[in-house]
């Protein structure tokens, strides 16, 4: 997005925090790099924005990036890892206390299943169950449909403790499992960010390549 200052900020654990980024910005748009609407997007982030906003400063929070289609990005990562016709797919996400967030993940699994023409099961990294029962059940369901190998599709931006938890547990069950990379900077993720920014700034989708002509002076993406 030429002409737009883009700054990466964090809710917690890392710096700069969202609050710090907002305080040193003028008007800005906050695009949550989250896949489902849950506590962070509904409660946590709005509270931080309210705390650090000043009179006369425009701070706009967009929907999460998962509000945009990302099934193709998941399919691309699986293809890059070597997905074969006989593989059953296991979509792995964080898991949330918000039922709507978990429903979103299951809906994305349906989209991915439709795209790949095969069953896709869902597991949540924070809800593997006692003895990884939920993971084991998902694997068994895929094998019951004829899957010869399990392919793990991480619905994550980057690898970390939660993806490693699922990787390790799956390796114990299926040592030959295929593990795709996280979505990272996939073009569809980038498009989601730019389109959300453009919509929030009042310009419509940025994917037509004209966002740089429409960016008002002083408006930032945080």
Q: What integer is the mean pLDDT of 189-207?
A: 81
* Residue written as token pair 């918000």: 98
Burial, 150: exposed, middle or buried (Cβ in 10 Å; 0-12, 13-18, 19+)? buried
29 and 57 both lie in a single domain:
yes
Structural domain of 22: 18-66+186-221
Q: Considering the domain boundaries, does residue 82 fall inside one?
A: yes
pLDDT of 90 strictly over 90: yes
Of 12-16, 64-68, 71-75, 165-169, minimum mean pLDDT range? 12-16
pLDDT of 213 strictly over 50: no
82 and 171 both lie in a single domain:
yes
What does the CA dihedral 107, 111, 114, 118 come to, rounded to 10 degrees? -70
Q: Strand order in 59-61's β-sheet?
A: 59-61, 28-30, 220-221
Secondary structure of residue 141 in the 3-state scheme: helix
pTM: 0.87
Instruction: Please write the tens of the pLDDT for every residue from 126-137.
Output: 999 888 999 999
Q: What pLDDT does 221 receive?
A: 55
112: preceding bond cis by omega (within 30 degrees): no
pLDDT of 222 strictly over 80: no
pLDDT of 208 strictly over 60: no
126 and 214 both lie in a single domain:
no
140 and 110 both lie in a single domain:
yes
């Amino acid at each position: 997005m030429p002409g737009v200052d883009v700054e990466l900020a964090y809710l917690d654990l890392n710096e700069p925090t969202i609050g710090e980024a907002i305080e040193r910005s003028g008007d800005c748009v906050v695009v949550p790099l989250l896949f489902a609407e849950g506590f962070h997007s509904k409660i946590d982030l709005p509270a931080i924005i309210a705390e650090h906003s000043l009179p006369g400063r425009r701070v706009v929070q967009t929907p999460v990036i998962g509000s945009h289609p990302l099934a193709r990005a998941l399919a691309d990562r699986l293809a890059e890892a070597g997905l074969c016709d006989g593989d059953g797919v296991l979509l792995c996400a964080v898991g949330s206390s918000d039922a709507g967030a978990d429903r979103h993940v299951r809906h994305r699994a349906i989209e991915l299943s439709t795209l790949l023409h095969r069953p896709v099961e869902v597991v949540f990294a924070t809800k593997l169950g006692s003895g990884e029962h939920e993971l084991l059940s998902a694997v068994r369901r895929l094998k019951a449909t004829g899957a010869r190998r399990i392919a793990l599709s991480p619905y994550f931006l980057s690898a970390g403790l939660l993806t490693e938890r699922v990787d390790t547990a799956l390796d114990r069950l299926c040592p030959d499992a295929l593990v795709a990379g996280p979505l990272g900077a996939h073009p569809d993720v980038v498009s989601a960010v730019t389109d959300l920014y453009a919509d929030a700034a009042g310009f419509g989708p940025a994917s037509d390549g004209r966002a740089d002509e429409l960016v008002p002076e002083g408006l930032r993406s945080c």
